[in-house]
Amino acid sequence: MSATSTAPKAGAGAPAPTAALRPSLKVPISLSVLSLVALVFFGLLGPGKTAEMKISDPGDAVEVPALMIPGQVGGMVLAILLFAMAAYAIYLWTRGERSPKWLPIVFAVVFVFALLVWIVAGARQPSISLAGLVAGSVTLAVPLVFGSLSGVLCERVGVVNIAIEGQLLGGAFTAALVATVTGSPYVGLIAAAAAGAAVSMVLAVFSIKYLVNQIIVGVVLNVLVSGLTGFLFGTVMVPNKAQFNTPGRLDILPIPFLSDIPIIGPILFEQSIAGYLMYVAVAVVWFGLFKTRWGLRVRAVGEHPQAADTLGINVNATRFWNVTLGGAIAGIGGAVFTLVTIDSFTKEISGGRGFIALAALIFGRWNPIGAFLASLLFGFAYNLQSILGIIGTPVPSQFMAMLPYLVTIFAVAGLVGRSRPPAASGIPYVKG
């Protein structure tokens, strides 16, 4: 800008302030682009075969006929539906309104369904069981749910728990070992909780008492647990598998009648004790955090520890015990690997799921129920990957293996938006 040519009203014409009031174009644009992708790939280039989506398994109390969706036509119809939603978002934008929150969610569900039709119809064996898909998702989500609940408990009290992975792994190993030695998977489950708590206590002592950077302690713990369990697995478990690594499984305890309901029956009422425990844990942690004295204090310590201190709340003790409790919960999640999913320990059995759990808790906005739902989404991604591998899709399996992590990145980066972690999370509390 030159000095002389701009008279007193210099710069007044800049339109920036009014533009700030417009809602962002992010949602309309991304929906439009995805609709176009759906139209071209799922519709125009869609496979000719018909996808079969089975809703109930043969032998269920209520049998529902399978959904038969022709690949190309189905893709077209779904793409048009997606375009309609994108158009609605654009229409709202032109009127200066924000898209409602449900719009991207419904859009995502329809998009994923279209993707599913496209993949299934293009597979060698164009048939999947929706019930199996959903039930399997929940099963795979169980360790994630426990892990993310552990993260919620820790972060809500002001400690970042990067060590979820280590807690899961420690729980998995201990569960296998103790269950084999005692002959009871239930004892193994309890031992797993203790192991997770022990890992957590190390995190708590170093980060709370010695004020070591919480991220660093967490990372070091992950490496330590991984190394330790790997070493013991190689030296103890592999040579003596029968003595140390045949834990047996936790019994599946179906609830009569209720477990026969299509789709939700197997999810809710045909679980092992660990599965039922998951639902209980989500509910209890939620109720505890938001409805009880304990929760109020925990959240206060995580948001404004000094305020809690001036009201006579022992900040560091609260943190210590909460982090320990979180570790115990993650430990139970780890036991699911060795007592439910498969019946023995292998090296690195948790396979990075602790970090996915961390993502789930952020995606779930530090809320137990949000973390639960986010974990289900990631469980779905894991399950989709394995099912699609089985039915044989044209998409290379390496890409399928990326699916859970892609979902994680998009979920955390794109959909979370401006969510607010507990204000004091990651900051050690020193008096004065």
Partner 1 sequence: MGVVKLELKGISKAFGTFYANQDIDLVVESAQIHCLLGENGAGKSTLMNVLYGLYEPTAGQILVDDRPVNFRGPGDAMAAGIGMVHQHFMLVPVFTVAENVALGAEPTSFGGVLSIDETRKKIRDISAKYGFDVDPDALVEDLPVGVQQRVEIIKALVREAKVLILDEPTAVLTPQETDELLDIMRQLRAGGTSIVFISHKLREVKAVSDVITVIRRGKVVGDAPPTASATELASMMVGRPVSLSLNKAASQPKETTFVVENLTVRAPNGTNVVDGISFDIAQGEILAVAGVQGNGQTELTEAILGIQPHVTGSVMLDGKQLLGLPVKDVLRSGVGFVPEDRTVDGLVGPFSVAENLVLDLYDQAPFASGISMKPAKVAENAKAKIEEFDIRTPSAGSAAGTLSGGNQQKVVMARELSRPLRLFIASQPTRGVDVGSIEFLHKRIVAERDVGTPVMIVSTELDEVIELADRIAVLYKGKLVGIVPAGTPRDTLGLMMAGVGPERGSDGQ
Nearer to partner 1, 9 or 124 (CB): 9
Nearer to partner 1, 26 or 347 (CB): 26
Q: What spatial distance separates the first Cα and last Cα of the chain, rounded to whole Å?
A: 51
State whether the Cα torsion 185-191-197-203 is positive or negative: negative
Nearer to partner 1, 44 or 317 (CB): 317
Residues 6+ apart with CB under 8 A from 72: 43, 46, 47, 48
| Minimum separation from the CB atom of position 301 to partner 1 (A) | 9
Nearer to partner 1, 22 or 241 (CB): 22
Instruction: Provide the binding-site residues for partner 1, judged by CB under 8 A.
Output: 1-4, 6, 8-12, 14, 16-17, 20-21, 291-294, 296-297, 299-300, 303-304, 306-314, 420, 423, 431-432
Burial class (CB in 10 A: 0-12, 13-18, 19+), 347: middle
| Minimum separation from the CB atom of position 158 to partner 1 (A) | 12
Residue 167: closest CA among 321, 308, 336: 336
CB burial of 242-279 (b: ≥16 within 10 Å; e: otherwise) equals eebbbbbebeeeeeeeebbbbbebbbbbbbbbbbebbe
Q: H or E stretch including 50?
A: strand 50-54
Nearer to partner 1, 155 or 303 (CB): 303
Nearer to partner 1, 124 or 431 (CB): 431
In the three-class reduction of DSSP (H, G, I as helix; E, B as strand; rest coil), residue 127 is classed as strand
| Minimum separation from the CB atom of position 375 to partner 1 (A) | 24
Q: Report whether 259 contacts 269 (CB < 8 A).
A: yes
CA distance 314 to 326: 18
| Minimum separation from the CB atom of position 277 to partner 1 (A) | 20
